[in-house]
Every structure is written in structure tokens, then in C-alpha cells.
Amino acid sequence: MNLDTLFNVSAAARGKAADGITIRRPDDWHVHLRDGEMLRTVLPFTAGQFARGIIMPNLVPPVTTVDAAIAYRARILAARPAGSDFEPLMTCYLTDTTSPDEIEKGHSEAVWTAAKLYPAGATTNAHHGVTDIKALRPVLERMERIGMPVLIHGEATDPAIDIFDREAVFMEQSLLPLLRDHQGLKVVIEHVTTAETVAIVRAHAPRVAGTITPHHLMINRTSLFQGGLRPHYYCLPVAKREHHRLALRSAVTSGDSCFFIGTDTAPHLSSLKEAACGCAGVFVGATALQTYAQVFDEEGALDRLEKFASLNGANFYGLPANAGTIELKRRPAAMPAAIAVDGGDIVVFRGDEALPWSIGEVRP
């Protein structure tokens, strides 16, 4: 389905864009690469667009130790396409039994860039996650002291809470108390989906930042049911109402330093998405930058794309901006509707569309 048609984006609203734009090579601060054959299949799409990526640790079993992170990083490096310089930035999966000493060891040895906090049961392979954030105080205090960021999947998991309200409830009941209790802790609220969370990020910047996905900029909750059930738009947090989508587009194009790319690209076999109980996740690794460029073009903010894509995240993590560049061309691009893997396939977000933006030359 053409999303311009779905949301009635007019030519006037898109405005006139340059034929192309060249920006510093961007980074993806939220990536699911999985493992094994899936890793080898999807990594080239992320590595072709981004110089670095924050790697999610929710494997089976999850990446909870320094040794496990070192081994996973080695598998990622081995799976890179020939000539690729993509750098994986590893994270620790927090559990109820995480040791502050293991956290500090991984950070001091430059193995872990950050730690990931999944409320138990919040999303894919999150059943090992944290059941009581208050009990995690010793770990968070250690992270606060050593300057290690915590990356939070911000959704409440009580089944009695409406799925469209779970982000808002988490922010009120869990995130705001955490920020009050740990006032020196650096926090990334990942895959922001509501106007209220946008406001929370802004109110607590610069120690708090928010990542925003390409798909949450393009779809709202109606998209899930447009013309029938669309399982490949189903993700967690689930897409929200249209006014939230518009708030996200305003946030990413605002120039505010507290927002940056986090694609949350999350591949699943189509057979597991198109099922009686389908998996949550959208594979956007192949079309992420093309989609972000389209959004900034439509909002008349192409001059702010580099800051959002290439500078804000690096500054938050205290890393240098990438030296190379990537060219984005305002010319139609076609992507495969799906890519083959493990005897099945993975559906590509917007792979059935003629994208108005495409990737040009990448210079390391």
C-alpha cells in the first residue's frame, strides 16, 4: 500500500526537495540482528546504510555476560559483507540477577556501550527481563556512577492495561520515578510512540534522549487494519493514533538534540508474522534511510536530517561523528517485497512501494 495515499500527503505538503543530499554517515542506535543465518541475511542491509549500530541483546539465551557479548560481537563481525566497516556496539540484557560488578567490568573493558532494560514479557524474547525496576537500584546506581546509559523499552506489561496505553502507563508509573531516583543516570527511551513521551524526553534532556523509528513516522494504528489485518505493521510498542504520529514527525524534524535514529529493525520469518499469534516486529533495515529522508523532505526539513541521523546520537553517547558520507538521492527506488532466509522469507517494510528516495554513494 502507498502510504502517501493512506495519509493523503499532497505534493504541496511535500514541497520541492533538492535532487539529493549528502550527509555524514549515520548510525542506527537500535538494531535487532538476531543470530545464525538470519544475522547473515539481514546484516548487509543495516551495514549498507549505517556505520555503527547499537545491537539489541534479546537473543535466546539473552546476552547477559561480558563473555557472551564478546562472542556475539565476533559473530556479527564475521557476518559483515566483504569490505564492510560496520561497527557493532554491544549491550547487556538486564535481569533481576544482573551483577553491578559484571556491568562495570563490561563497561571498563569497552565491551558494552549500554545496558538494555526490558520489562519482563514486554516484547520478543523479553521473558528474562526485569520484574521489579526498584530492585534493580544497585545496578542503576553503578551505571549512574560510571556513566553507562540504560536503554528502556518503555511499556507496562500488566495484561489489564490496554495495549495502546502501555507506554503512557509505564512513563507515569516507572520511568518518571526512575528519573527522580537516579538523577545522574543517562537514559534512552527507545522507539517513542506518543506525544506525551516526546514531551518527557524534552523535559529531561540532555541526560534523557529518545529514538524514533521510520515505521512509527509512517503508520498509525489505523494502518494495522487498513483493508484488512496487516501483520507486517504489527510491532511493540504498537503504532498509536494519528496525532501521535504527527508529534513524532515534528520531534524528529525539530532540530532538537535529544532525538535520534533508532530503527528498531526487527526481522521475523513471514510465517511467524502471518500466524494465529503473530510476532511483533517490523523489518525496516532495507528501507530505513530512504523513509527518514522522505519524512524530512515532506516536512521541509532536509537541512536537519544530518543532525538527527548522524550527530545527535553520537553526541549523546560521547562518540565522534563518523568521518565518511552517504548520498541520498531523490529518485525512485525499488526494493524486494521480501528476502529469502532459512527456507522462508522476511517481508520488507515498504518493499511493495516505489520509494521516492534511494541510497547513493557511500564514502567511508
Per the prediction, the chain carries an average pLDDT of 95
pLDDT-based confidence at residue 162 (cuts at 50, 70, 90): very high
Say whether 182 counts as a known binding-site residue: no
pTM, two decimals, is: 0.94
CATH number at 44 reads: 3.20.20.140
pLDDT digits 0-9 by tens, 20-54: 999 999 999 999 999 999 999 999 999 999 999 99
What value does the mean pLDDT take over residues 219-242?
98
Bridge partners (DSSP) of residue 338 are: 347
Side chain identity, residue 107: H
Q: Is the backbone peptide bond immediately before 206 cis, with ω within 30 degrees of 0?
A: yes
The residue annotated as part of the active site, out of 27, 28, 256, 264, is 264
SS3 per residue for the chain: CCHHHHCCCCHHHHCCCCCEEEEECCEEEEECCCCHHHHHHHHHHHHCCCCEEEECCCCCCCCCCHHHHHHHHHHHHHHCCCCCCCEEEEEEECCCCCCHHHHHHHHHCCCEEEEEECECCCCCCCCCCECCHHHHHHHHHHHHHHCCCEEECCCCCCCCCCHHHHHHHHHHHHHHHHHHHCCCCCEEECCCCCHHHHHHHHHHCCCEEEEECHHHHHCCHHHHHCCCCCHHHCCCCCCCCHHHHHHHHHHHCCCCCCEEECCCECCCCHHHHCCCCCCCCECCCCCHHHHHHHHHHHCCCHHHHHHHHHHHHHHHHCCCCCCCEEEEECCCEECCCEEEECCEEEECCCCCCEECCEEEEEEC
191 is in an annotated binding site: yes
In this model, does residue 236 exceed pLDDT 60?
yes
Distance between CA atoms of residues 47 and 28, nearest Å: 10
CA dist., res. 220 & res. 199, Å (int): 19
Phi-psi bin for 287: left (phi > 0), alpha (psi -120 to 50), beta? alpha
In 3D space, the residue among 158, 90, 148, 91 whose CA is nearest the CA of residue 120 turns out to be: 158
Q: Are 297 and 253 in contact (CB under 8 A)?
A: no
Residues of the chain above pLDDT 70, percent: 95
Q: Is 107 annotated as a binding residue?
A: no
204 annotated as ligand-binding? no
Number of domains making up the chain: 1
For 68-95, how does the pLDDT look when each residue is reduced to its tens digit (9 = 90+)? Answer: 999 999 999 999 999 999 999 999 999 9
pLDDT reading at 132 higher than 80:
yes
- From CA 318, how far away is CA 149, in angstroms rounded? 11
Residue 178: per-residue pLDDT: 98
The band of 333, judged by pLDDT with boundaries at 50, 70 and 90, is: confident
Residue 341 scores a pLDDT above 90:
yes
Distance CA(157)–CA(289), nearest Å, equals 31
Q: Is 153 annotated as a binding residue?
A: yes
Angle at 150 between CA 182 and CA 164, to 5 degrees: 95
Tell me the average pLDDT across 268-284.
97
Q: What integer pLDDT is reported at residue 1 of this predicted model?
A: 42
Residue whose C-alpha cell is 541483546: 57
Q: For residue 9, what pLDDT is reported?
A: 40
Measured on CA atoms in the order 116, 118, 305, 328, is the torsion positive or negative?
Answer: positive
Is pLDDT of 267 > 60? yes
Stretch 131-147: mean pLDDT, rounded? 97
- Please give the pLDDT value at position 122: 93
Instruction: Identify the band that residue 125 occupies on the pLDDT scale cut at 50, 70 and 90.
Output: confident
Whether 153 contacts 122, CB under 8 Å? yes
Q: How confident is the model at residue 127 (pLDDT cuts 50, 70, 90)?
A: confident
**Is the model's pLDDT at 11 over the cut of 70?**
no
How far is 183 from 269, CA to CA, in rounded Å? 41
Q: Is 116 annotated as a binding residue?
A: yes
| 232 in a labelled binding site | no
Q: Which residue has the cell 520484574?
A: 131
Give yes or no: 264 in active site.
yes
Q: What is the pLDDT of residue 13?
A: 36
The confidence score (pLDDT) of residue 326 equals 98
Q: What residues make up the domain containing 347?
A: 3-363
pLDDT tens digit sequence for 165-210: 999 999 999 999 999 999 999 999 999 999 999 999 999 999 999 9
The answer to the question of whether 302 is labelled as a binding residue is no
